[in-house]
Every structure is written in structure tokens, then in C-alpha cells.
Structure 1
Amino acid sequence: MAEGGNWGHLSALVLARGGSKGIPLKNIKELAGRPLIGWVLRAAVDCGGFDSVWVSTDNDEIAAVALQFGAKVHHRCPEVSKDTTSSLETIQEFLISHPEVDIVGNIQATSPCLHPDTLKRVIEMIRKDGYDSVFSVVRHHLFRWSDVKRTGEETKPENFNPARRPRRQDWSGELYENGSFYFATKELIRQGKLQGGKVAYYEMNPEHSVDIDIDIDWPIAEQRVKRYGYYGKGDPKVVKLLVCNLDGCLTDGRVYVNQNHELMSYSLRDLDGIQMLQRKHVEVRFLSERKISAALLDTLKLPCRVETKVSNKRSLVERWMAELGLSSWEQVAYMGCGYSDVECLKLAGTGGVPADACVEAKMTDNFVCKCNGGGGAIQEFAEHIEQSKESRKRKFGNEKQP
């Protein structure tokens, strides 16, 4: 160990037991198009500061996902795979099998908004500043009251004076552990501690402080990770494919019918938006649940591929992704308006809905156009895609995107 710092073997360790009472196989359930554990593993691998990255698990499916995201697998023993086993006991068991490890960065699998920059700073605190343990906290501005156990007992304020309630801007708030990570030396862990010695906290940004425990946490986490999650080096969240629901996005959702013909209309502004993206080398395709005649499709004169009578939109989009050599939904933009579009809107790296989309589609926390379907919404979404691309160029530079 060098003076003023800890320079031993530093391992990232993610504990991922197969059994979960709240959500079965929670650790590899898809969150915004990626297995939950994949979000933290990518951050740990890409931060570049760990000597090794491990997943401790008792489940073969979780082990396979861990390997896929660049981690090594520690197959934990049954004695530390029980509901009653503590994280500390599981880490101690890991260290027995891996004596080369001197410092453990225990990262919570259910903290999907963790970023490499956060981990880099914590590693500096361990390596250069000489801390023996560092843990994550988040700041809350919450007024606490005493817990009342008996009927008639009076509750009392614990951290403020009700007669002088502070304004948020006049109060620094309080720090709470959020469980995202605990770094500690092997010596502390052997003593049964994750916090001790020269100890410090790392305050995470509130938007990055996300935890998933039960089902109702999932949709909130999904919205947060799509906005604040880490998508990888060079930001692979660059659009290569735009898929739109023809009915209600390109059109206004209405069909005009007479005795012999079925008619639809769309805005030429949307056609301009499609062609603008195509000039930027974005593949544009449409799908529809309805059976639309080839004659009607010919009259629309759309400059892109259209597939109709689609019963499984996700399956079709993933087939198109495979055709185009796209490895991730993060490279897909999806525009939908109905209930059957919700799954794809949640998976897509960039999503959009017309102003008159159904409530559930809007609640996927994607870009909501000012225009209605059939009235310029696709052009508006296309401009949003291009503006986002220019913004990412300014952020990441002009490096070649994967």
C-alpha cells in the first residue's frame, strides 16, 4: 500500500441471487431494453478503474448475462444463497475464494442509473485520498416526525421546528444511504463491517439515485433510466432506424371508405421529415396492425418499407434490427400512438408520440409532439431526432459512433 492511498487489487462485485420474492429473476428482467444487471455492469466495466468486475450468483441465467456484459462469474455456495443471507456474508464468502482481492466495490444490481464518472471519483477517494470505505448517499429535504406506538400518544418533530419551517433553499437537507454502492477494504469486511476506518460518503445526484425493490418501482425506474441512464462509451444511443405506426402517426387514424375504395391521407410535411432522416442515413420503416391492400399502399407513394397485418410489433422491429445489423434497441427510434405501441416505446432508445396519442403511450415518458397524428407529428419527431443527434455530437465530439 502506498502512503496516502490504497493500491491493492480493487474488484467491483455485484450480488445477484436468482431467488427474489418481490420480482422473479429481477436482476435480469429487461429494463428499457437491457437486463437490469447490465446497466451497472456496463458502468463498472467502462469506468476502467477496477482490476476485475465480478457477479456473485447462484443462477446460470444470471451468470450468462454477466459474461455477456464483460463480468467474471463467481458461483456462490448454497449457504450464502438464502433469503436470510446478508450482503456482508456473501461478500465475505467471495473473498475466501478470491484472496487476491484487497478492496471490494459492492455495487447494487438494482441501481440502473449509475454512471462510470461516479465510480471513477469513488475509486480516486479510495486510491488517492486513502479512504478505507466509501458509500453512496442522496440528499433529501424531508421533515421527520417521531413514530407513535400507542393510541393517544403525541408525535413530535425530530429534525425541524414547526413554528419555523425552513424553506428548501434555506435548508441543506439530510443525507441518506441509498444503497447504490459500498466500497471497503478486505480488512474491514473480515471484521464484519462495510463502513469503518477512514470513512467517507459520496453524494449522488438525485436523478441517478434509483432503486428497484418491488413491481411498482419498475415503471418509475424505466422512465428515469431512459432519461438519465448510462448508454455506453461514445453514446451508442444514436438513431439508425426509425419505425412508425402508420395508423395514427402518419395518418390521423381515420379511413375514408366508399363502395369501391378505401382512402387514407397524410401530411406532406411528414414526408419531408422522412426524407430528411433518410438523407442522414437513417432507415425509416412503417408498420400497421391492419391489412392494407397493395393498391392502397401504392397510391400512398411512401419512400420506405411498409409491413401490414402485424400482430407482434416488437418481434417485427427486432427482425428489422437483425437485418440492418443493429445490436441494440438504443439505436432504434419508435413512434407510436396506441396501446399496442407501448412495449416498443419503452424499449426504444428514442421514442415519440403524437399529441393525440393514448394516455398509456404518453406515460412512457417519451417525446410528445405538439402536432397530432397525420398533421406533421412525424416531421416534428424527425427534427427532434436530428436535434438530439447534434446535441450528442457536441457532448461526445465527432468520434465515430458504433
Structure 2
Amino acid sequence: MAAARKRTLSGFEDVIDRKTTIFKDSGEKIHVAALILARGGSKGIPLKNIKVLAGVPLIGWVLRAAVDSKQFDSVWVSTDHDNIEKVAKAWGAQVHRRSPEVSKDSSSSLDTIQEFARLNPEVNVICHIQATSPCLHPFHLKEALELITNQGFTSVFAVARQHHFRWQEVKKGGSVATKPLNLDPSNRPRRQDWDGELCENGSFYIHTRATIEKGLQGGKWAYYEMLPEYSVDIDVDIDWPVAEQRVLRFGYFGLDKPEAVRLLLCNVSGCLTDGRVLISVSGEEMVSVNTRDTTGIRMLQGEGVEVILISSSEDLTKALADKLSQRTGCEVRQLGKDIQGEAKAMMDDRDLGWKEVAYMGNDAPDVDCLNLAGLSAVPRDAPVVAINAAKYSCHNVAGLGAVREFSELILLLKKKAKSQMEQDRIHRDTF
């Protein structure tokens, strides 16, 4: 990341040395707002902005980064759609209901941003974040904003470096030819000998109010370079599975470190089972447990994560608890109505904090724990109140692989963290 930051300011050092800052030394109190545009009429992917990507509504990824960056006096979503408004508020944003005049297919981003600026005169700087950039992290926003607030630029935009040889189609009469745009075909450079090109990646655009009133990217502008792994954009359906794999590896999962998970508390009914109780002709009650889910639990245990199965319902008989313990090797606990209090007691016994706990629940009684846990999940068929509280919503439903899916996510994040720690160690040893 250090190398990327250095390139970010390349070519601007002389400007920075002799510029006068706009805000830093003026004593003026400024209001910096984050603004995400999320119209309901997306044509490529209907309601794309709230479609679930890797367990989180697409817009939730950038809202989480914006809120956790603590760089903004306000975080807004500009929308014309009721469902987008509900999701935006659930993820900590205020909502600007845009007018019909700027909600058309022909409306530009500038039209919508200018309307927001006109209706919010207290805002001095607007950071327009695109909802389709799910690998955005808080540090990207913090570093880019400093170019405006501390270094005197009036417009900053995100770019990624590309090493693509580009050709242009040339039509002459009925024939088609090509000509090179950024290379000499007789002297093609090696990748390591070519700096490449800076291309806007669309993650964010930051402007002062004066710049917005005239247009975008005016005055003194600078670019902020993001590494390629963070430069993800979603436009059509084929982009979705690629973005999902990228965000699981490079996305921002919150202030709590999910790699620190040492304990999983998993509700039996509605997570490990599908919530049904089957009754045989002889009157015997039965439930089903999927072997994929029990395998997922074993995978966690093999990596040093303790798993405790919990239940606050009356469906968990001693016979069922014993059978589950036998099949999974887990402790099984019957809880009372105070799930949060009893979970905290288990954590205290192990000297753990909430950031070291993953929690999987399925309904309203689980909401407090879903909110507090460092990493939390619900099955796909959980009610909305639980989905809104969880950090991850599974693709699979209860009793049919949801626990396995969440287990794999926990292990993926731990592996990601271990790899990052190793890279940081190598970086420190090298420099």
C-alpha cells in the first residue's frame, strides 16, 4: 500500500509545496458528507444496489466503509425507491429522496449531486461513493480526503493502474482497420518497463462545493490510486460472481477483526435444523441435521475454533442434545430468555470479547447477539429483523448448508488475515 500512496501524489509535489490550503489553516468549520447515488431503476441488474453480494446488500459494503472511516459529518444515500431507503437506514445512512427530475434514465450523476448540494447548504465537501464498488475500505476514503482537506486540491478521483495495450478501430469505406493508441507495435515494452495507464475505477469522486457548482473534476485535481485488487465494479450480471469472489478476499468486513474468531455460538433450531419437527406415526418427534453442516463444524474445530450449539426453544430435548453433541463433538447448551447475558457468561469463562465471537442466529431473540458479535450470520430464510442485524446473510437456508457456508467464511477470513500478517511482516523486514 505504501508504494500505491507514493504514486498517488506523483507529479503533484511542486503544486503541493506552493499551494495554500483551502481548509486546514482557515479555521473554517467544514462539513464533509458522503453521498451514494442509488436509483431504483437500474436496467442492467434490477434493484442492483440492494441485491445481496457475499451476504451483504451491495450498497451495504460501501456504507460500512464510509461509516467506519469516521471521516464524514454525515453519510447519505440519494434514492427514489422505498426498499433502497429501508436498506440505507439499516446500514447507518441518512436518506435524500431525490426529485423525479433527477430520477430519470437520462439524469446524470452531476444533476443529482447538484440537487443534493443545493438542498444541503451546510455541506462544504461531497464524497460521491459509487454503490458498485464493494471492495472499498475506510483507509481509501481517509487518505483521499486528506488531499482535499489538508493539501489544497478541489477535486480528487479514484484510479487503478492498468497495463493494457489499446487499439482503435478505423473504418474506411467498407473495410475496417486498426491503429495503435498507446504503443509502438515494433517496440512493445515489457510490463516491468512500462508504468501503465491510470484509469478511473469509479470507486469515488470527491469535490468541494464550488467545484460541484461548476461541474465535476475542476480546479486543482488529483488522483488517488487504488491497488487492482480493490478496484471492482459491477455493471452487468456476468460481473456478479467475479465481484463476489473478490469481495470475500479483499472486502472490508468491519471494525472488529473477523480473523480473531475463537468461538462460534450457533443456534440449533433455524440454523443447524430447518425449524421443523417431524412426527412419526408412532408419535415420535424427529428433526433432521445436514451432514454438510456438521462437516463445517468439524472444519472449524480442526482450525482451533470452539463451537457451542445453543437453543432457547423447548424443542431441544436431552436426547437430541446428546445426539448432537455426539455427532459434532460440540457442547450443547439450553439457554433461557436472556440469550445475550448467557452468551456473555460463556465468553467471560473463556476470557473472550465480542470481537472474538461469531454468532449464528435466526430470529428476533438473536438480534442483540448478532449486532454485538465480531462476525454474525443468518440463514437465507431468516426474517428481516434478523437479516438486518447480521453482518452476513447466507445463500443457503436453515438446515441445508447455511452452517457450512458460515463456517467456510470464518475460515476464509482467518486465512486472509494470516496471509496479510505475513505480507506485513515481509514488508517490515524488507524496508
Query: If the length of structure 2 is used for normalisation, what is the TM-score?
Result: 0.65
Out of 344, 359, 362, the position equivalent to 1:319 is 362
Does the 8 A contact of 2:159 with 2:199 survive in 1?
A: yes
* Corresponding residue of 2:409: 351
- Map residues 1-400 of structure 1 onto 2, 5 A cutoff: 3-6=20-23, 8-150=30-172, 151-191=174-214, 193-236=215-258, 238-239=260-261, 240-241=263-264, 247=291, 273=301, 276-278=304-306, 282-283=307-308, 302-304=328-330, 318-319=361-362, 323=366, 325-327=369-371, 330-331=375-376, 344=402, 348=406, 350-351=408-409
Does the 8 A contact of 2:127 with 2:204 survive in 1?
A: yes
The one-letter amino acid of 1:247's match is T
Does the 8 A contact of 1:332 with 1:349 survive in 2?
A: no
Q: 1:118 to 1:152 in 2, by over 3 A?
A: same
**Distance in 1 between residues matched to 2:98 and 2:41, nearest whole Å:** 13
**Distance in 2 between residues matched to 1:300 and 1:213, nearest whole Å:** 48
Give the superposition deviation at 1:342: 9.7
* Two-structure CA RMSD over aligned residues (Å): 4.1
Query: If the length of structure 1 is used for normalisation, what is the TM-score?
Result: 0.69
What are the superposed Cα offsets for residues 253-273 of structure 1, whole Å, 9 maximum, x if unpaired?
xxxxxxxxxxxxxxxxx5994
**Distance in 2 between residues matched to 1:343 and 1:5, nearest whole Å:** 54
**Distance in 1 between residues matched to 2:100 and 2:143, nearest whole Å:** 35
Comparing 75-84 and 343-352, the one that deviates more: 343-352
The one-letter amino acid of 1:326's match is L
**Distance in 2 between residues matched to 1:271 and 1:195, nearest whole Å:** 50
Comparing 54-63 and 132-141, the one that deviates more: 54-63
Does the 8 A contact of 2:293 with 2:403 survive in 1?
A: no
**Distance in 2 between residues matched to 1:343 and 1:176, nearest whole Å:** 41
Q: 1:215 to 1:299 in 2, by over 3 A?
A: closer
Aligned length: 326
Q: 1:98 to 1:139 in 2, by over 3 A?
A: same
**Distance in 2 between residues matched to 1:57 and 1:51, nearest whole Å:** 20
The one-letter amino acid of 1:75's match is R
Does the 8 A contact of 1:329 with 1:348 survive in 2?
A: no
Does the 8 A contact of 2:170 with 2:178 survive in 1?
A: yes
- Where 1:37 maps in the other structure, the secondary structure is helix
**Distance in 1 between residues matched to 2:170 and 2:405, nearest whole Å:** 44
What are the superposed Cα offsets for residues 157-196 of structure 1, whole Å, 9 maximum, x if unpaired?
11111222111111110011111111111112111x2101
Q: 1:322 to 1:304 in 2, by over 3 A?
A: farther
Q: 1:301 to 1:71 in 2, by over 3 A?
A: closer
Amino-acid identity (%): 49
The one-letter amino acid of 1:186's match is R
